[in-house]
Amino acid sequence: MAILKIARLGHPVLLQRAAPVADPTAPEMRRLVADMVETLEDIGGLGLAAPQVHVSLRLFIWRTAAGGHSALFNPEIQPIGEAIEEAWEGCLSIPGLRGAVERPARIAFRGQDIAGTVIEGEAAGMAARVMQHEYDHLEGILYPMRMTDLSRLGFVEELARFNPPKPVESERQKP
Ligand code: NI
């Protein structure tokens, strides 16, 4: 296992559309996932996509609510319903910054696990946000490219120092 170098904003690998993984059960994929998990554990992030470690393949991992890690190969993601939520996001490829990003609140996902088995499910809240953020990496999209208000992009320390009001859900119903 190894801790991998993370590509940072400005590296072209982050802007490429990643290629499908032909065989998620291949030994090199097992090794890649193990290294990505070790890298994510070392940094303490919530999710990591293969292009972030300079591998332009359709694969991401995320930390599960139980504290373990899951891998999804060749993922597909569809929003469920109309609800949109806004929350602050960071990215290991854009260290030190956070930005407020609107995303669908609920998603359905489908893909393959490390055994090649098709897995599908639904996610909401933070899990849905992390999966959409990681999926975007496979499309060459970084979270600032999703932002509609770049005045709400800043360094973590400054945002904390000036204590911005918590973003409200944009779909909050008016009485
Ligand atoms: Ni990211």
DSSP codes of every residue in 9-48: TT-GGGGSPPBPPS-TTSHHHHHHHHHHHHHHHHHT-SEE
**Amino acid 165: pLDDT:** 58
**Which residue, among 133, 118, 134, has the nearest Cα to 36 in the 3D structure?**
134
Q: What is the pTM of this model?
A: 0.91
The pLDDT assigned to 68 comes to 92
Cα of 133 vs centre of ligand 1, distance in Å, is 6
134 is catalytic: yes
Q: Residues near 84 by Cβ (< 8 Å), separated by ≥ 6? A: 102, 103, 104, 105, 169, 170, 171
The token pair that represents 51 in the structure block: 């292009």
pLDDT score recorded for residue 31: 97
The alpha carbon of 130 and the centre of ligand 1 are apart by a number of angstroms equal to 9
State the Cα–Cα distance between residues 135 and 49, nearest whole angstrom: 8
Return the pLDDT at 175: 38
Q: What does the pLDDT read at residue 105?
A: 97
Question: Which is catalytic among the residues 134, 157, 169, 171?
Answer: 134
pLDDT score at 6: 98
Mean pLDDT, 10 residues at a time, the chain of 175 residues: 95 98 98 97 95 98 92 98 96 96 98 96 96 98 97 94 61 41
